[in-house]
Structures are given as structure tokens and as C-alpha cells.
């Protein structure tokens, strides 16, 4: 059995308006991001996305607590070495936007959440694609084997 949830677009719009009223202004966020970008360019000469593995380990070093947290995520979610470095890179960016010189466990935890969310979205997309193929196959089967008369 399949269950479908219906969400009212009107309710969603009201929720968005409520969140916007309590949230941080876009101009303030933009200023923080621009400042983080400039400080990153001054510090390393390039953005976090352009750092090599060695440069990343040097400029985005994780302390033991942060490293253990990433390793637990790697074990729990079956992440690759590439994902480890992506988490490290995103944590460095989060720390930059927060104005912190050192990566903290909260930054690593947030980066892990983004990584696992991204992974869930990919799995959901693959599942939905698979379901679409199954539905198409069933439709074809029904067309081919329709009873005569």
C-alpha cells in the first residue's frame, strides 16, 4: 500500500512568511559570506573549493574530537574518503562564515547533516526513477496483454 501526503500550498506560504519574519536579513548574511570569502582568499590565496587534499589538511585541520565525529559519520553512513574531505571542506566554510579561525564540532556536525541530507535526496531520486520505470513497465504489460473481446 502506498501513502501520499497532501500539503496545502497556502499553509506552506504562511509558514514561509513566519520564518522570514524571525530569520536573519539577506543583506546581513550576504555581508558575512563576502567577509568569509575575502578572509579565505587572503589566508590561502584560494577558496575552500579549490584546495588540494594537502592544503585542506593544512588550512582546515580537524582536532581529535572533530576527526572522531567525521570518522563516526563515515562508519555509520558508509561514506567514502572523498566524502570525508567534502565534510572537512564544508566545515571549514561554515567556520569561515561564523568568523571562527578553528573548526569546531558544531561546524563539523552541520557539515555532516548537509552531506547526509544530500545523500538522502540522491537515494530518493533514484528510488523515484526506479518506480517510474516499474510503472512504465506495468503500463506496457497491460497494453500488450489486454484480454480480447
Which of 110, 108, 103, 114 minimizes the C-alpha distance to 71? 108
Q: In the numeric block, which cell numbers belong to residue 59?
A: 588550512
CB 98 within 8 A of CB 105: no
Domain spans of the chain, in order of start: 10-140
pLDDT in tens, 36-53: 888 888 888 888 888 888
User: Which stretches of the chain are assigned E, i.e. beta strand?
Assistant: none
- Burial level of 104, CB count in 10 A (0-12/13-18/19+)? middle
0.85 surpassed by pTM: no
Using a 10 angstrom Cβ sphere, with 0-12 exposed, 13-18 middle and 19 or more buried, the burial of residue 88 is buried
pLDDT tens figures, 2-46: 444 444 455 555 665 655 556 778 888 888 888 888 888 888 888
Contact indicator for 94, 60 with CB cutoff of 8 Å? no
pLDDT (tens digit per residue) in 84-108: 889 999 999 999 888 898 999 999 9
Amino acid at each position: 500500500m502506498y501513502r501520499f501526503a497532501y500539503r496545502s500550498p497556502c499553509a506552506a506560504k504562511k509558514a514561509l512568511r513566519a520564518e522570514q519574519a524571525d530569520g536573519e536579513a539577506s543583506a546581513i548574511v550576504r555581508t558575512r559570506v563576502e567577509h568569509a570569502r575575502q578572509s579565505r582568499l587572503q589566508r590561502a590565496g584560494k577558496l575552500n573549493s579549490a584546495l588540494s587534499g594537502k592544503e585542506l589538511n593544512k588550512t582546515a585541520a580537524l582536532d581529535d574530537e572533530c576527526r572522531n565525529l567525521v570518522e563516526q559519520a563515515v562508519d555509520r553512513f558508509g561514506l567514502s574518503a572523498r566524502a570525508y574531505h567534502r565534510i572537512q571542506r564544508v566545515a571549514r566554510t561554515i567556520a569561515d562564515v561564523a568568523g571562527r579561525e578553528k573548526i569546531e564540532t558544531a561546524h563539523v556536525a552541520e557539515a555532516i547533516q548537509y552531506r547526509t541530507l544530500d545523500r538522502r535526496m540522491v537515494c530518493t531520486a533514484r528510488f523515484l526513477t526506479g518506480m517510474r520505470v516499474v510503472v512504465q513497465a506495468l503500463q506496457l504489460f497491460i497494453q500488450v496483454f489486454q484480454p480480447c473481446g
